[in-house]
């Protein structure tokens, strides 16, 4: 079982908080880039014989590509890789870059799941996040997705932007729930160094998110999404039963995955490797018939263990109690950050917010 | 003459002098030092003396030539006494002038007194623009008490602001001489320096002492050379000190051999012998500087050995104590070795092992004052590459219980309240000289520091000399800075130990989550306890990162809590996103966080970063006001 990730590094605008490998102003490279993806799929495919049960086209904004290009890509991947029936094929979409027509093409070329960057339903929060779409665009895109036959839709939300209050976040959650997505991802806004937001915070021009308010927002998300029938299955992810994102679960369960596209990451066994990040360099390498690998690492047992603990705690599967020192565990149980579930130690809701502490305590 | 079985092969009378440095008759020897308030131009004047006597060629000359150590040159102060031999001709006679350098900071008064013990005369130097300052007085009294002939000199006469005549009058009055006997020089231009040399020769008496007497030499300083062992600076009082003589250290009752005898001219130059009154160095080949105790007398062994030691001088006594701990626990041995090496050159430094529950293994060190402490700490960090945490400095307290006196160097050793009769703290007699217009500000400062005025006298219509009894603890931190800022830099300060006085002192403990942190305990006056406690808990609240639980930071006297702050429990510490497959970066962030944790010190349940200890313990100005 394995996963396939395809990275599309183009965006209409750059959001101040985003530190993904995404670019504006490279639109002229789009068709070359799609051809390169197909070429890389050929080059890398030889060494990837196992079935690919999940495909995730992310970015950037994949839906900035023309519908035909995306369709061609999906079809080519199915031809090159062993994608069994019933595979999960997700495409990330920006509400402003989709309409029914485009979504129908995606659906027909094999996409089963749509992940939409809604972020917020509060216009001031969207402005603060430098998102160009308004709340109505999300509603329209959602309706279009349903009309095109998508039965599996995720809404991405971000909480803790400057100006957002607990009340505003509550409205966003209620609006999101009202649209009836199968899956909700809610991320605490993180100030990443090297982003415009990171620089503005470092210069004191913008306030960093208040971690206590974000903790309250997290608790509210747990409460409202739980009440609405979504199961909390990863720190930042909720889903209707059976609608968990299988592709992301693959990352978290340390299953092999192959990444195609600029800056995409791959993993198998003890090896993690990644492609070069700049799209131009990626194009040059692939067009020269080379694998565009930019770096790799071999995991030692200690690193693998740390990852295992980190990821198992994130998806609330917990780690076997036998992995950790009782001396390290007891204060965390007492503090209500961990709970025992059979022979496993699982983070509580409060514990999820302090996951870094838990990981370090348990991975020792 | 000494006739022991270890006598040198050649009789002293026939000794061929090395490098033209002849054994000089005592009548043509002058041993003198220059004493001055800090910044009154002592080192610059010494440079001129070196030039004028051709001790250093123009090419070799560099500023503050005698201040050899980097640290001294940067701070513009002298901390090691140095002895230089100069030769000067006057009236057809060649004189040997031994200039014993002295430090100019109040922390190092004891080094002044040890240098004075090697001299017969002292040049009392006063800046013509500044006038007589507190240390001028202190040093003058030390020199006069040591029986030295004083040569009063007004320096910096080239300055536009110089008041040569006024300063001359003041100096004459202080020394008790005619104003015409006060010399006027400029260390900068060299004006008046030849006349000063002549005055030293004419006024300072030659040393007493006879070649025939048993050897008695005073060690007035020592230094450690990794290749040669301990090198002692000596002043021969009686007899002759010969190369390869077998010697005896009276204070430690030890026999050893003088491997080499020499003089600083100004670089070390071997000689065959040092006669009575001469000043030079002695290579001992001993590896332990403590065996060559400064102030000790070194007679030769065997028959004819002197029985009576020379009178010593004021022993250096640590006034300020602080715990030094390596930031990396593994550096304990390195710190011990470094302290031992420093001690070789610094008789005033004392240390003993100390164990802190918060900071681990380290040393409680005694210093002469805060400057001395800073210099030692800086040298440990700079020369030995150690990263250190220093606890807040404290004075030595006496805890009286019945007829027992418990000496407390460390606040954490202070017994709990109610278990003793009283506490006594060291008190100093401070001399402050200030322009009259700032007198009010000075008195206000002294009162605020629990001072008791002893007397006050107008030196002139514009300058006042005040004497205060002040608790040492009140002046070692920022008193001098405060004094300077309230008098626009015009007031000067000197102080000398006065004794111990009872005081209402209490130990303030700082508790983290109910656990006392020994490194933060401090003994303070009861009236200032609340403010100290408040400052510390507020400072720590800023410095201690949020933990997994609410953390109380408390200040307490005994079991009574006087201040409290809470570090709210941390609620969020999680990487929001973990997808896109870049697990490497997430793992690296966690590994970084883990490394950060390894630099935390755990106190009870609270993790305290190294930096918090350093920042919380930093002596700053606002704290003690």
Quick check: is A246 in a domain? Answer: yes
Mutate to test the interface with B, among A8, A192, A236 (most CBs of B within 10 A): A236
Distance CA B351, CA B428 (A): 23
Buried b (16+ CB within 10 A) or exposed e, A290-319: eebebeeeebeeebebbbbbbbbbbbbbbb
Cα dihedral A212, A216, A217, A218 in deg (nearest 10): 100
Interchain pair A189, B590: CB under 8 A = no
* Contact yes or no for A125/A163 (Cβ under 8 A): yes
Structure tokens at B151: 């040569």
**Which of B577, B586, B594 lies at the smallest CB-CB distance from A360?**
B594
For residue A32, what are the contacts with CB-CB under 8 A and spacing of at least 6?
A283
- Give me the CATH number covering residue A20: 3.20.20.70
Q: List residues of chain A with CB under 8 Å from any CB of chain B.
A: 5, 20, 58, 187-190, 211-212, 214-215, 218, 235-236, 248, 251-252, 257, 259, 264-267, 272, 274, 297, 303, 306-307, 310-311, 314, 331-332, 335, 337, 350, 352-357, 359-360
Quick check: is A296 in a domain? Answer: no
Helix then strand count (H, E) for chain B reads 14, 32
Task: Name the residue with tokens 């998806």.
Answer: A315
Mutate to test the interface with A, among B513, B545, B551, B580 (most CBs of A within 10 A): B580
Interchain pair B581, A356: CB under 8 A = no
Name the CATH code of domain B216-298 (choices 2.40.30.10, 2.40.30.110, 1.10.10.10, 3.60.15.10): 2.40.30.10
Domain spanning B26-203: CATH superfamily? P-loop containing nucleotide triphosphate hydrolases (3.40.50.300)
Structure tokens at B132: 């007589």
Q: What is the pLDDT along chain A (364 residues), one digit of tens a residue?
A: 899 999 999 998 888 999 899 999 999 999 999 999 999 999 999 899 999 999 999 989 999 999 999 999 999 999 999 999 999 999 999 998 899 999 999 999 999 999 999 999 999 999 999 888 889 999 999 999 999 999 999 999 999 999 999 999 999 999 999 999 999 999 999 999 889 999 999 999 999 999 999 999 999 999 999 999 999 999 999 999 999 999 999 999 999 999 999 999 999 999 999 999 999 999 999 999 999 999 999 999 999 999 999 999 999 888 999 998 888 899 899 989 999 999 999 999 999 999 998 998 898 6
Percent of chain A at pLDDT > 70 equals: 100
Q: Which residues of A touch B570 (CB under 8 A)?
A: 211, 354, 357
Quick check: is A284 in a domain? Answer: no
Interchain pair B587, A211: CB under 8 A = no
Q: Which residues of A touch B545 (CB under 8 A)?
A: none
Nearest CA in chain A to B550: A335
Give how far the C-alpha of residue A355 lies from the chain's centroid of Cα atoms, to the nearest Å: 18
pLDDT at B10: 32
Cα distance from B158 to chain A (closest Cα, Å)?
51
User: B35 forms bridges with which residues in the sheet?
Assistant: B124
* Contact yes or no for B300/B215 (Cβ under 8 A): yes
Interchain pair A353, B580: CB under 8 A = no
Interface check B5 vs A, CB under 8 A: no
pLDDT at B495: 85
**Which of B574, B577, B586 lies at the smallest CB-CB distance from A354?**
B574
Interface check B290 vs A, CB under 8 A: no
Write out residues in chain B with pLDDT < 50, as ranges: 1-21, 69-79, 81, 302-303, 313, 621-625
Quick check: is A97 in a domain? Answer: yes
Interchain pair A306, B580: CB under 8 A = no
CA atoms within 13 A on the CB side of A80: 21
Q: Which residues of B touch A331 (CB under 8 A)?
A: 548, 605
Query: What's the angle, vertex CA A352, arms to CA A359 and CA A89, rounded to 5?
Result: 95
Query: Which of A236, A252, A268 is where one domain is finished?
Result: A252
Distance CA A113, CA A106 (A): 10
Same domain, A171 and A45: yes
ipTM of the assembly? 0.89
* Contact yes or no for A337/A357 (Cβ under 8 A): yes
Q: Cβ atoms within 10 A of the Cβ of B462, count?
A: 11
Buried b (16+ CB within 10 A) or exposed e, B304-333: bbbeeebebbbebebbbbbbbbbbeeebbe
Give how far the C-alpha of residue B385 lies from the chain's centroid of Cα atoms, to the nearest Å: 22
Interchain pair B587, A356: CB under 8 A = no
Distance CA B370, CA A104 (A): 79
Structure tokens at A265: 């990451």
Interchain pair A251, B579: CB under 8 A = yes
Q: Which residues of B touch A257 (CB under 8 A)?
A: 581
Interface check B307 vs A, CB under 8 A: no
Mutate to test the interface with B, among A273, A356, A358 (most CBs of B within 10 A): A356
Interchain pair A360, B597: CB under 8 A = yes
Domain residues for A340?
302-363
Interface check B578 vs A, CB under 8 A: yes
Cα dihedral B342, B348, B352, B356 in deg (nearest 10): -90
Same domain, A307 and A224: no
**Which of A218, A251, A359 lies at the smallest CB-CB distance from B590?**
A359
Query: What's the angle, vertex CA B8, arms to CA B4 and CA B13, rounded to 5?
Result: 100
Helix then strand count (H, E) for chain A reads 14, 15
Q: Cβ atoms within 10 A of the Cβ of A214, count?
A: 22
Query: Which of B266, B200, B262 is closest to B54 using CA atoms?
Result: B266
Q: Which residues of B touch A353 (CB under 8 A)?
A: 571-574
Interchain pair B583, A215: CB under 8 A = no
Distance CA B500, CA B212 (A): 46
Cα distance from A238 to chain B (closest Cα, Å)?
13
Mutate to test the interface with A, among B545, B573, B581 (most CBs of A within 10 A): B581
Structure tokens at B243: 């190369």
Buried b (16+ CB within 10 A) or exposed e, B482-491: bbeebbeebb
For residue B92, what are the contacts with CB-CB under 8 A and spacing of at least 6?
none
- Cβ contacts from A onto B, under 8 A: 99
Nearest CA in chain B to A314: B578
Quick check: is A281 in a domain? Answer: no
**Which of A20, A215, A251 lies at the smallest CB-CB distance from B583?**
A251
For residue B353, what are the contacts with CB-CB under 8 A and spacing of at least 6?
B336, B361, B362, B363, B364
Same domain, A243 and A309: no
Distance CA A107, CA B541 (A): 56
Mutate to test the interface with B, among A221, A251, A262, A305 (most CBs of B within 10 A): A251
Query: What's the angle, vertex CA B16, arms to CA B10 and CA B22, rounded to 5?
Result: 125
**SS3 string of B159-221?**
CCCCCHHHHHHHHHHHHCCCHHHCEECCCCCCCCHHHHHHHHHHHCCCCCCCCCCCCEEEEEE
Structure tokens at B290: 């403590």
Nearest CA in chain B to A328: B605
**B398-503 CATH fold:** Alpha-Beta Plaits (3.30.70)
Cα distance from A19 to chain B (closest Cα, Å)?
11
Q: Which residues of A touch B578 (CB under 8 A)?
A: 235-236, 251-252, 310-311, 314
* Class of domain B506-624 (CATH, top level): alpha beta
Quick check: is A19 in a domain? Answer: yes
Distances (CA, A) of B497 to A270, B98, B107, B426: 70, 30, 12, 7
* Contact yes or no for B87/B97 (Cβ under 8 A): yes
**Which of B582, B591, B593 lies at the smallest CB-CB distance from A265?**
B582
**Which of A189, A274, A337 lies at the smallest CB-CB distance from B548?**
A337
Threshold 0.90, pTM exceeds: no
Mutate to test the interface with A, among B546, B578, B589 (most CBs of A within 10 A): B578
pLDDT at B7: 29
Q: Cβ atoms within 10 A of the Cβ of A12, count?
A: 14
* Contact yes or no for A22/A243 (Cβ under 8 A): no
Name the CATH code of domain B320-391 (choices 3.30.70.870, 3.40.50.300, 3.40.50.2300, 3.10.20.740): 3.30.70.870
Quick check: is A276 in a domain? Answer: no
Structure tokens at A31: 């068709």
Task: Name the residue with tokens 């020199």.
Answer: B143
pLDDT at B463: 86
Query: If residue B46 lies in a helix (H) or strand (E), which one and from where to where?
Result: helix B42-52
Query: Residue ranges of the domains in chain B?
Result: 26-203, 216-298, 320-391, 398-503, 506-624
3-state secondary structure of B236: strand
User: What's the full length of chain B, in residues?
Assistant: 625
Interchain pair B581, A266: CB under 8 A = yes
Interface check B595 vs A, CB under 8 A: no
Distance CA B353, CA B357 (A): 13
Interface check B574 vs A, CB under 8 A: yes
Q: Assess whether the region B26-203 and the region B506-624 belong to the same CATH fold.
A: no
Mutate to test the interface with B, among A92, A159, A310, A348 (most CBs of B within 10 A): A310
Edge-first strand listing for the sheet containing A2-8: A231-234, A237-239, A183-188, A153-159, A113-119, A88-93, A52-59, A2-8, A257-260, A265-268, A271-275, A293-298
Same domain, A124 and A197: yes
Which of residues 85 through 104 in chain B touch A, CB cutoff 8 A? none
| DSSP assignment of B345-380 | H-TT-EEEEEEETTTEEEEEEEESSHHHHHHHHHHH
* Contact yes or no for A54/A90 (Cβ under 8 A): yes
pLDDT at B210: 85
Query: Which of A252, A286, A314 is where one domain is finished?
Result: A252
Counted domains in chain A: 2
Q: Cβ atoms within 10 A of the Cβ of A195, count?
A: 18
Q: Which residues of B touch A274 (CB under 8 A)?
A: 582, 584
User: B516 forms bridges with which residues in the sheet?
Assistant: B511
* Contact yes or no for B324/B365 (Cβ under 8 A): yes
* Contact yes or no for A279/A29 (Cβ under 8 A): yes
Interchain pair B572, A353: CB under 8 A = yes
**Which of A265, A335, A352 lies at the smallest CB-CB distance from B574?**
A352
Q: Which residues of B touch A301 (CB under 8 A)?
A: none
């Amino acid at each position: 079982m394995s996963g396939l990730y395809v990275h599309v590094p183009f965006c209409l605008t750059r959001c101040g908080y985003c530190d993904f490998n995404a670019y504006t102003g490279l639109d002229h490279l789009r068709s070359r880039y799609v051809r390169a993806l197909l070429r890389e799929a050929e080059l890398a495919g030889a060494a990837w014989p196992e079935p690919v049960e999940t495909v995730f086209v992310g970015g950037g904004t994949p839906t900035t590509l023309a519908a035909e290009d995306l369709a061609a890509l999906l079809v080519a991947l199915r031809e090159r890789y062993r994608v069994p029936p019933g595979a999960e094929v997700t495409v990330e979409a920006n509400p402003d870059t989709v309409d029914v027509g485009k979504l129908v093409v995606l659906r027909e070329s094999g996409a089963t799941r749509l992940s939409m960057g809604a972020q917020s339903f509060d216009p001031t929060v969207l402005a603060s996040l430098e998102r160009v779409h308004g709340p109505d665009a999300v509603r329209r895109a959602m309706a279009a997705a349903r009309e095109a036959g998508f039965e599996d839709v995720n809404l991405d939300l971000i909480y803790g932007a400057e100006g957002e209050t607990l009340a505003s976040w509550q409205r966003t959650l209620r609006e999101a729930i009202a649209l009836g997505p199968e899956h909700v991802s809610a991320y605490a806004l993180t100030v990443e160094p090297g982003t415009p937001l990171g620089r503005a915070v470092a210069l004191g021009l913008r306030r960093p998110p208040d971690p206590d308010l974000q903790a309250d927002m997290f608790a509210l998300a747990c409460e409202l999404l739980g009440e609405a029938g979504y199961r909390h299955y990863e720190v930042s992810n909720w889903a209707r039963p059976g609608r968990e994102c299988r592709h992301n679960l693959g990352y978290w369960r340390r299953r092999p995955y192959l990444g195609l596209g600029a800056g995409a990451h791959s993993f198998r066994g003890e090896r993690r490797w990644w492609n070069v990040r700049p799209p131009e360099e990626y194009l040059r390498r692939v067009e020269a018939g080379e694998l565009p690998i930019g770096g790799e690492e071999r995991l030692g047992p200690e690193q693998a263990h740390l990852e295992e603990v980190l990821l198992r705690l994130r998806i609330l599967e917990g780690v076997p109690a036998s992995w950790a020192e009782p001396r390290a565990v007891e204060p965390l149980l007492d503090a209500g950050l961990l709970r025992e579930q059979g022979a496993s130690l699982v983070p509580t809701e409060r514990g999820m917010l302090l996951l870094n502490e838990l990981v370090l305590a348990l991975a020792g | 003459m000494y006739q022991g079985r270890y006598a040198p092969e050649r009789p002293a009378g026939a000794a061929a002098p090395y490098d033209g440095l002849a054994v000089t008759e005592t009548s043509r020897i002058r041993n003198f030092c220059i004493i001055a308030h800090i910044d009154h131009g002592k080192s610059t004047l010494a440079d001129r003396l070196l030039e004028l006597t051709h001790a250093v060629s123009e090419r070799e000359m560099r500023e503050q030539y005698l201040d050899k150590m980097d640290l001294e040159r940067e701070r513009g102060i002298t901390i090691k006494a140095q002895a230089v031999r100069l030769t000067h001709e006057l009236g057809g006679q060649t004189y040997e002038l031994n200039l014993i350098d002295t430090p100019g900071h109040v922390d190092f008064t004891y080094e002044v007194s040890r240098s004075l013990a090697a001299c017969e005369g002292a040049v009392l130097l006063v800046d013509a623009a500044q006038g007589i300052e507190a240390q001028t007085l202190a040093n003058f009294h030390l020199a006069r008490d040591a029986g030295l002939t004083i040569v009063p000199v007004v320096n910096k006469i080239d300055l536009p602001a110089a008041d040569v005549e006024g300063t001359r009058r003041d100096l004459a009055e202080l020394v008790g001489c005619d104003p015409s006997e006060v010399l006027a020089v400029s260390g900068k231009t060299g004006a008046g320096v030849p006349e000063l040399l002549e005055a030293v020769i004419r006024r300072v008496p030659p040393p007493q002492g006879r070649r025939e007497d048993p050897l008695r030499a005073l060690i007035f300083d020592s230094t450690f050379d990794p290749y040669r062992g301990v090198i002692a600076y000596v002043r021969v009082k009686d007899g002759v000190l010969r190369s390869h003589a077998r010697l005896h250290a009276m204070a430690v009752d030890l026999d050893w051999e003088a491997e080499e005898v020499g003089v600083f001219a100004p670089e070390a130059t071997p000689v065959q012998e040092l006669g009575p009154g001469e000043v030079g160095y002695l290579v001992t080949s001993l590896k332990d500087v403590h065996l060559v105790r400064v102030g000790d007398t070194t007679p030769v062994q065997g028959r004819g050995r002197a029985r009576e030691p020379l009178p010593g001088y004021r022993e250096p006594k640590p006034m300020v104590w602080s715990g030094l701990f390596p930031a990396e626990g593994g550096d304990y041995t390195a710190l011990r070795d470094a302290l031992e090496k420093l001690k070789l050159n610094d008789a005033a430094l004392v240390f003993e092992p100390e164990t802190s529950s918060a900071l681990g293994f380290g040393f409680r060190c005694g210093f002469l004052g805060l400057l001395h402490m800073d210099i030692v700490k800086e040298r440990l960090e700079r020369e030995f590459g150690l990263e250190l945490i220093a606890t807040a400095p404290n004075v030595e307290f006496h805890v009286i219980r019945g007829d027992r006196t418990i000496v407390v160097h460390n606040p954490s050793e202070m017994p709990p309240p109610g278990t003793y009769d009283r506490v006594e703290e060291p008190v100093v007699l401070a001399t402050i000289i200030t322009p009259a217009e700032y007198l009010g500000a000075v008195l206000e400062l002294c009162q605020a520091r629990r001072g008791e005025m002893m007397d006050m006298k107008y030196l002139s219509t514009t300058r006042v000399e005040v004497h205060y009894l002040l608790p040492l603890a009140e002046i070692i931190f920022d008193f001098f800075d405060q004094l300077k800022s309230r008098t626009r830099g015009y007031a000067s300060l000197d102080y000398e130990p006065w004794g111990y006085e009872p005081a209402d002192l209490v130990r303030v403990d700082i508790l983290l989550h109910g656990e006392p942190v020994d490194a933060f305990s401090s003994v303070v006056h009861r009236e200032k306890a609340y403010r100290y406690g408040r400052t510390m808990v507020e400072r720590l609240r800023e410095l201690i990162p949020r933990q997994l639980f609410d953390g109380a930071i408390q200040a307490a006297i005994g079991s009574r809590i006087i201040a409290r702050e809470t570090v709210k429990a941390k609620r969020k510490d999680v990487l929001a996103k973990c997808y896109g497959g870049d697990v490497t970066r997430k793992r690296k962030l966690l590994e970084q966080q883990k490394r950060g944790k390894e630099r935390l010190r755990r106190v009870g349940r609270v993790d305290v970063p190294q930096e918090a200890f350093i920042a919380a313990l930093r002596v700053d100005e606002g704290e003690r006001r």
